[in-house]
Structure 1
Amino acid sequence: MSLSSLSLLLLAGASPLAVGQEVPTVTAPETSAPVPVPGEQDRTPEDVQRSSAASDIVVTARRRAEQVQDVPIPISVVGVKELDSTGSFNVQRLQQLQPTLQFYSSNPRNSSVNIRGLGAPLGLTNDGIDQGVGVYIDQVYFSRVAVATLDFLDVQQVETLRGPQGTLYGKNTVAGAISITSKAPSFNFEGRAEVTAGNLAFKQAKASISGPLAEDVAVRLGISTTSRRGTIFNTATDNYINEQDNIGLRGALLWRASDSLSLTLSGDYNRQDPECCAQIYVRYGPTQRAANRQYPALTAALGYTVPSTNPFDRLTDVDAELNALNVLGGVSLRGELSLGSGTLTSVTAWRFWDWGPKNDRDFTGLPITTLSQNPTRQDQFTQEFRYAGEGNGFDYVVGVFGFYQKIHTTGQQQQGSAASRWLLNPSSALSNDPSVLDGLTAENDIRLKNFSGAIFGKFNWDVTDSITLSPGIRVNYDDKVGSYVSIVRDAQGVLVPYSGGTPRQAAQREAIQPQAFVDEAYRAWNLTYDLTASYKPSRDVLLYATYAHTFKSGGLNLNGVPVVNGVVQTELAQIDPEKVDHFELGVKSQFWDRKATLNVTGYWTIIKDYQAIVNNSSTSTLRGYLANAGEVRVRGVEADFSIRPTERFTAYINGAYTDHEYVEFVNAPCPPERSGGTAAPVGSPGGTPGVPGQLSPVVCDISGQWLPGISNWAFSYGAEYNAPAKVFGLDGEFYLAGDASSRSKFSSNASRSIYTDIGGYTLANFRLGYRTDDFNIFGWVRNAFDEEYFELLATTPGNTGLVAGNPADPRTYGLTISKSF
């Protein structure tokens, strides 16, 4: 299924939107605000109004105009008006509207976007592997999930495609794709401004303007800025942290060079610079480490008390400097040429990403790890050519895609004066000598050069008027070359060797292990193919079935590998690709004169050689590293229902049931309650979980357990009622709307732990306002019932039993005013 081609035109149907309304009612499945298709950029509101009477929602997903209900793929689309009215100004907010989308982030770099629970496991940030969910903006692939933490800027719509993608264009993805479409330059002069103010000193402003520069040239400019006071108070610095401080700029120039050729030049710059991102004390969960080396004994010995043991007091005393500087930008040129019976499209782009973090990785006010940062610079270049044509009873897309990425990370980790007591065994005299680890510093240099190239094609054959077969194929080549060098020095600048040396240096290696491997390479060809069969027995019913065999590219372990007896285990530096088999059955339907829409999808996904953090008993080490687990399975059922019985009322409910497990994962890292003790004999289950002083298994078999981050049940639902009214002589309407999302319990640790399950919760949001065709004012409240829940829970280094986490936003409220012209 093409990503760029999923541009939708709002033409009514079961859409909850009303043409001309500034703010939508609710988000329903597969509906959107108008987005121009090639050759239709100048459609007027009156054109849309007339089309609306036809009760059709038109897409160009298979390079021809067709109803969205005719497209045999599960798609969730949120238009600009839904984004604005629900406050979904980034992907994190968007997940509340789409139950099959999951987003987790402890900071922009340590972020993962999953669809149906697949993409990247929690805590698996590694420059050397690809994401399983592709993020695209205006047909340009973004290789870093960090883009998902930025504010949407002058966005027209966001489309979420579920299931494997890649046989139509772009980068191969195994779980799905998020395609973000910006507003196009207009040949009619137009503009919009919006301001929002709320509690926690929340301030947001957006503005855009567009119009012609000449008869065949149009321009569009947009700006967005967001700021908010932090949600956590740091008693060490006497200020609020985990704040928001974002600004974005975007410009686009459209030149209609001829009747058959149009060129769009786009550029953007986005910057976040908040004091962020601290994870704070949540609880103590005993491990199998000796009792005198666990959190209660260690803090007592150091005379330390956490500011609060209730995380929803939102207090911390982290003492290291915090920052989450995140800068993204780039330039792209898209050309579209009508050629023969189809369209030739070229997309050329350069993107950059600068990441300047500062973290407190001991999660306390103690000087244990005083410096932890991995500043990164990335440049990426992409080039894509596609030709979409059609003939008598068939249409097709063929293309080539090239991607080159260069990453350089220069990290630092430094230990403080409390590190010896915290990290070294108290039975050693060295643990009472702060100078052993105080000032110990690792200088990391991580480099990656990553090339990916592909040829692809998709063919749609109308066997009969009601039956269509759609085979697709992709041939992909990946070439990755990377290096990881970690040099460790003590406070006097003396190198710490890989092995041997003095007892003091051996103790220093317990805290930070030096290692290096240079110019490790991963190179491989892979083949992707899929087949979709669809059957349309009537105008308003579509049945479809899909099989896809695909892969997630292999890569390199650029977070380090085990070192055994001074030998770096470079054979563990490469990671094999994931091999994916995906099956899907679906039905799309409309009824009650198309006032109601019901779409249901069932799927079954099997992944072999799943990329995960593993332990390997053959190395006789407890250090986890990135490698391949055996097999995972995710299967489920999704249903999207929307109804619009009158122009005054709309409602929707979307739900997903997801069954997920590690089918085979015999060499997983153990959960904290089974970690930290003296190593048990290989193959032994170890001692009693959660009891200090017990033996700990080197690896754990977690076959049959949950995958992290996935709830068995998830729902989103909402409704709106509006009433016509005239205010100050202007025709408009008052409206009352609400939306909510619910999810059941999920695991927040790669190996499920008794300490890190996050309980189910429901978030409810409400808004009340008045709008006309070009003006809107509304008050809103989010997390209206002040639900206390965690976005993430994490075990902290050292097996001390300290569990840290991210308390989610409390209740927020505010007022939004917007004006269009």
Structure 2
Amino acid sequence: MRLTFVSFLLLAGTSTAALAQEANPPLIDPTPGSDDRTEETVQRSSVASDIVVTARRRQEQVQDVPIPISVVGVKELDNTGSFNVSRLQQLQPSLQFYSTNPRNSSVNIRGLGAPLGLTNDGIDQGVGVYIDQVYLSRVAAATLDFLDVQQIETLRGPQGTLYGKNTVAGAINITSKAPSFEFEGRAEVSVGNLEFKQGKASISGPLSDNVAVRLGTAVTSRRGAIFNVATGNYVNEQDNLGVRGALLWRAGDNMNFTLSGDYSRQNPECCAQIFVRLGSTQRPLNRQFDALAAAFGYEPVSRNPFDRLTDLDADLNALNVLGGVSLRGEIGLGSGTLTSVTAWRFWDWGPANDRDFTGLPVTTKSNNPTKQNQYTQEFRYAGEGKSFDYVLGVFAFYQDIHTTGIQQQGPAASRWLINPTNPLSNDPSVLNGLTANNDIRLKNFSGAIFGKLNWKITDALTLSPGVRLNYDDKVGSYVSIVTDGQGNLVPYSGGTARQAAQRDAIQPQAFRDEAFREWNVSYDGTISYKLAPDVLLYGTYAHTFKSGGLNLNGVPVVNGVVQTQLAQIAPEKVDHFEIGVKSQFWDRRVTFNVTGFWTDIKDYQAIVNNSSTSTLRGYLANAGKVRVRGIEADLSVQPTSGFTFYINGAFNDHEYVDFKNAPCPPELSGGGTGAVIGAPGVPGANSPIVCDISGQWLPGISKWAFSYGAEYSAPATIFGEPGESYVAFDANSRTKFSSNASRSIYTDIDGYTLANARVGFRTDNKLNAFLWMRNVFDKKYFDVLATTPGNTGLIAGNVGDPRTYGLTIGISF
């Protein structure tokens, strides 16, 4: 599609994502939910102090909170097409989201939170995701559509003394629209290229004088952007359905109860990682990709990933079902509010993958279906006195996970996986049908007592200490039973040469009832000073922990002995420093906030990959120390009532300070053993057993990242309806980042800029219609690059979306 003059006009103006709408009304005295008229009015006022947040478990103006917070309201989410966390990161440069499928997803803030590229049932995430004050233990929820959302707050830095789980990197606090005591509703429909279709609707109103209800739904579908020539289907599609309902009961003047439930389902043909490039390893040349492929007369359908073609021959599916029920009660007691949040949530994951990343039947099945139930209970009291306010809380969390994985090799596996010098490589029956049936179980309890005090020493000076006492109790099992194509058990060690070759492909192992139990104490302190009515200075120190855990993807087996001493992973120990200023000037038309931070983590939970094919997809170890430090700045300006612009930026200096026993990158893997280590990428050379990557980048973090945009609007009348027309633009830019746990010359992703634009017409209370275009310049980029099993040199990856465009029409009443 050529850029026309109309496309150029789309770039002339932009939209402010730095601003948000008013949060839900006060907890004790709810008022009718916000409608589009309220949203538009707040949007055009552009006064950041109008933004109400609940980051500190009470309603406050965002500029008065001494925490770096990014706030995005419903209008920005709708107008920018940010209907899940993946899209949200394009508005917030300190937020990173990576996903090869819903289970293998990670949400990071400032590059911290979860190891990039590894999902392990036995570890916790470092970024807490909360929807209506309910903690979500699985990042898979982040891939689904937002449902009837009012506002999203992203809090950067440790938040464990305010939130139920010890969120060492930050928290994403999602607030849904509340039931309204005035009848209201909204419907929105979007259509676009790639057969994109999305519908969202909500309705709310009273059932009686003291009971109100709200119902919302969202449906999204889109054709995949990758064509699979093996099946004739487009893959990596979108197929999302979500519903949410909430019932609000005003039980008294100071007593409210909200019962809510939600259900979300994703069922696309997904998720293909396709051929990107080859990178020579130290494996013998006859065991690298081109030689192995030539033995089968095989050639990938395309070696240019931006042809968006693949020939994967195994089934693909990403069935992802989540939901739950919660009951929140708020009771006014004395000088404060007692809040109880009781919740049950479930997660069902039904995948199908192609884990040899080729059109050959090497690995025909590699799936880890999972079922999870979680239960949470939180009691929290927010009170205040003459010169202080405080939050005290008790939190309990229980999680039960059962994963039943399978891995099966196909008729091409023997020639692909066994050394050609071994005669067994010419016998397809050796590995054909070789199957691992894995049973993974975890019972996870976490309990905490936490508190936060804000003591106003003077009208300008406030001290805010906090503390959290936490207990974790995890008990897990990992059992992998391996059988050959005839159903015979493959032993842990010994046996025939045939069985030894089978173990090299898939290693059986088992450990049961491994436990991790530990207490820890986290604490923090913030000092804030109102230099002027619109200028807030603050500084914070926090000492906190990310829970230890269990290696539930398996551990190494040496001479038939399962190395259970590697089953436990120590907690991360975090020391965090932060200083910042929040300011407004020019009659509050300008908001400028700056934060500097320094985070040291000892015993960082890092990914470790085994060098042999499929023996382990990955297991965790503790790196010595990592450091992330940087500066973030947010600027939003409204010089006139019809023009706004913003720019948010982040500089991030990040490195492994001490990691001497790290896994090696592919260019230093797969070779022989010996005293003399060969040059990187030289076939047949010797490889180190481990690599010292101290001083190298952490994965997934760009040194520089920006989001920016603007919007221009002017009064207009269309078909006799008065309103305003607008043209808008938003974009995000980031510099190069590493996409591998140990930085590799083959998996750095070059920096890129993604630009989006829209032009439309809206009225104050009824209609919003606009044309939109995402990735206006059709930038070719990668979301993720990944090394593949076996050190064959194959690098696979996820290519980013091409240019998309469409029309959205929203109507409110």
TM-score range, shorter chain: over 0.9
Task: Assess, with a 3 A threshold, how the Cα gap between structure 1 residues 491 and 156 changes in structure 2: closer, same or farther.
Answer: same
| CA deviation map 1:446-503 (0-9, x unaligned) | 0000000000000000011100000000000000000000000001100000000000
1:425 to 419, 423, 429: 419
1:798 aligns with 2:787: no
Distance 1:425 1:33 in 2: 64
Distance 1:442 1:787 in 2: 41
* Equivalent pair of 1:412/1:442 in contact (CA under 8 Å): yes
* Equivalent pair of 1:29/1:75 in contact (CA under 8 Å): no
1:779 aligns with 2:771: yes
Match of 2:3 in 1: none
Residues 400-415 of structure 1 aligned to structure 2 (within 5 Å): 400-415=394-409
* Equivalent pair of 1:124/1:612 in contact (CA under 8 Å): no
Residues 706-717 of structure 1 aligned to structure 2 (within 5 Å): 706-717=697-708
Match of 2:752 in 1: 761
| CA deviation map 1:775-794 (0-9, x unaligned) | 01100000000000000000
* Equivalent pair of 1:356/1:376 in contact (CA under 8 Å): yes
Give 3-state SS (helix, strand or coil) of 2:414's partner: helix
Distance 1:316 1:50 in 2: 47
Aligned residues: 792
Give 3-state SS (helix, strand or coil) of 2:682's partner: coil
Task: Assess, with a 3 A threshold, how the Cα gap between structure 1 residues 814 and 513 changes in structure 2: closer, same or farther.
Answer: same
Match of 1:172 in 2: 166
Task: Assess, with a 3 A threshold, how the Cα gap between structure 1 residues 322 and 63 changes in structure 2: closer, same or farther.
Answer: closer
TM superposition shift of 1:41: 2.8
1:74 to 65, 68, 75: 68
Q: Which amino acid aligns with 2:16?
A: T
1:204 aligns with 2:198: yes
Please report the RMSD computed on the Cα atoms of aligned residues, expressed in angstroms.
1.8
Q: Which amino acid aligns with 2:763?
A: T
| CA deviation map 1:141-170 (0-9, x unaligned) | 000000000000111111100000110231
TM superposition shift of 1:37: 2.1
Match of 2:209 in 1: 215
Percent identity of equivalent pairs: 77
* Equivalent pair of 2:48/2:62 in contact (CA under 8 Å): no
* Equivalent pair of 1:33/1:80 in contact (CA under 8 Å): no
* Equivalent pair of 1:169/1:400 in contact (CA under 8 Å): no
Match of 2:8 in 1: none
Q: Which amino acid aligns with 2:643?
A: F
Give 3-state SS (helix, strand or coil) of 2:806's partner: strand
Distance 2:304 2:769 in 1: 38
Q: Which amino acid aligns with 2:718?
A: V
TM superposition shift of 1:624: 5.6
Distance 1:61 1:150 in 2: 23
Give 3-state SS (helix, strand or coil) of 1:95's partner: helix
1:737 aligns with 2:728: yes
* Equivalent pair of 2:526/2:539 in contact (CA under 8 Å): yes
Residues 325-404 of structure 1 aligned to structure 2 (within 5 Å): 325-404=319-398
Task: Assess, with a 3 A threshold, how the Cα gap between structure 1 residues 430 and 53 changes in structure 2: closer, same or farther.
Answer: closer
Match of 1:571 in 2: 565
Match of 2:30 in 1: 41
Distance 1:143 1:34 in 2: 24
Task: Assess, with a 3 A threshold, how the Cα gap between structure 1 residues 578 and 54 changes in structure 2: closer, same or farther.
Answer: closer
Task: Assess, with a 3 A threshold, how the Cα gap between structure 1 residues 432 and 693 changes in structure 2: closer, same or farther.
Answer: same
Match of 2:294 in 1: 300
Distance 2:42 2:276 in 1: 57
Task: Assess, with a 3 A threshold, how the Cα gap between structure 1 residues 60 and 556 changes in structure 2: closer, same or farther.
Answer: closer
Q: Which amino acid aligns with 2:735?
A: S
1:676 to 670, 693, 710: 670
Match of 1:32 in 2: 21
Distance 2:703 2:203 in 1: 44
Give 3-state SS (helix, strand or coil) of 1:752's partner: coil
Task: Assess, with a 3 A threshold, how the Cα gap between structure 1 residues 339 and 490 changes in structure 2: closer, same or farther.
Answer: same
Residues 306-705 of structure 1 aligned to structure 2 (within 5 Å): 306-614=300-608, 625-681=619-675, 686-705=677-696
Distance 1:241 1:628 in 2: 37
Distance 1:229 1:37 in 2: 42
* Equivalent pair of 1:27/1:78 in contact (CA under 8 Å): no
1:808 aligns with 2:797: no
Distance 1:315 1:346 in 2: 51
2:227 to 225, 233, 248: 233
TM superposition shift of 1:56: 4.1
Distance 1:348 1:141 in 2: 11
* Equivalent pair of 1:725/1:734 in contact (CA under 8 Å): yes
* Equivalent pair of 2:20/2:76 in contact (CA under 8 Å): no
Give ranges in structure 2 of 5+ residues lacking alignment. 1-12
2:809 to 801, 817, 820: 817
Give ranges in structure 1 of 5+ residues lacking alignment. 1-23
Task: Assess, with a 3 A threshold, how the Cα gap between structure 1 residues 234 and 243 changes in structure 2: closer, same or farther.
Answer: same
Distance 1:390 1:230 in 2: 53
Distance 1:314 1:25 in 2: 30
* Equivalent pair of 2:579/2:596 in contact (CA under 8 Å): yes
Q: Which amino acid aligns with 1:820?
A: S
* Equivalent pair of 1:28/1:642 in contact (CA under 8 Å): no
Give 3-state SS (helix, strand or coil) of 1:529's partner: strand
Residues 119-268 of structure 1 aligned to structure 2 (within 5 Å): 119-268=113-262
TM-score, scaled relative to structure 1: 0.94
Match of 2:266 in 1: 272
Task: Assess, with a 3 A threshold, how the Cα gap between structure 1 residues 64 and 578 changes in structure 2: closer, same or farther.
Answer: closer
Match of 1:10 in 2: none
Distance 1:431 1:371 in 2: 20
* Equivalent pair of 2:55/2:153 in contact (CA under 8 Å): no
Q: Which amino acid aligns with 1:430?
A: L
TM-score, scaled relative to structure 2: 0.95
Q: Which amino acid aligns with 2:274?
A: I
Distance 2:656 2:752 in 1: 25
